[in-house]
Amino acid sequence: MISNPKSQILNPKSAQRVALVIQYLGTHFQGWQRQAKGRTVQEEIEKALSNVLDRPVTLHGAGRTDTGVHAAAQVAHFDATGPIPAGRWSKILNARLPQDILIRASASVPPTWHARFCASWRRYRYTLYTDSLPNLFVRPFSWHYYHAPLDESLIQAALDPLIGRHHLAAFHRSNSGRSHSWVDVQEVECQRQGSFIHIEIQASGFLYGMVRLLVGLLVQVGTKERSPENFTQLWVNEKRDQVKYAAPAKGLCLLRVGYPDSPFPPEAWFDTQPKFLLAEPPVPMPAP
């Protein structure tokens, strides 16, 4: 007599690979990847999946975000058996996940599809808040940099030479497991909108800690402490010893992951981290 049908091995024909678009607030996570100690995004979702499927489940992500880093559209996949349609997994998981994780969409993908290895690119956004006054509502998602004016045109000039395939050992942390420092940078962008500067970088893949180290140095360019040409020479000549400061994790967000044929509609993943658009303060209304 079968006491728990979910615990039985089902017909392989009923197995399916399911892809997820995932948002999370990185503030209280030790990063994406499961670890021996500390709360991680991967582990939280795997626990929810295992609870539904009544067996251990491994979730494979498109990339690994560091402690405190957010994600607007991380992508991951898992293998499921049973009658649940792929499109229903988003609602099922959201009912079981903590408030700082959200599944925006779920979809069926071919059995050979892989969230990491099928991805063509990843795009990150770093947000700087430059107003002299602090703001509680933007604090969790930006670096409040008010010590000196930042010139976004100089930052853009420093970013432009990064486009292409380069050996970026200057931004490669020593404790990374990656065996080389080659990165294919596809797009770079720096825009100011009111009190906010948004820096976006798109590449086929990223070195561990690369964006935060890069932004820490770009701030020196923005304050004119370092010229765009000096910035370029630093990474061209692999001067890792001169890259001393990483920007805070809370300003960084994995914006989206690109695939040749995305299994999701654009509205689920394309631009799901709203930009802060705080402009100059309004003129106070006269007292009645």
CB count, 10 Å around CB of 162? Answer: 20
Q: Strand 70-81 relative to strand 252-258: parallel, antiparallel, unpaired?
A: parallel
Give how far the C-alpha of residue 67 lies from the chain's centroid of Cα atoms, to the nearest Å: 11
Residue with tokens 């770079």, as numbered in its chain: 188
Secondary structure letter of residue 198 according to DSSP: E
Residue with tokens 């997820």, as numbered in its chain: 20
| SS3 state of residue 122 | strand
* Active-site residue, 271 included: no
Please tell me which residue in 66, 151, 184, 241 is annotated as part of the active site.
66
Secondary structure letter of residue 235 according to DSSP: H
Which residues, at least 6 apart from 164, have a Cβ–Cβ distance to it below 8 Å? 184, 185
User: Residue 82: how many CA atoms within 13 Å on its side-chain side?
Assistant: 17
Give the whole-angstrom CA distance, residue 152 versus residue 94. 39
* CA distance readout (Å), 79 to 9, 57, 112: 13, 8, 11
Catalytic residues, by residue number, are: 66
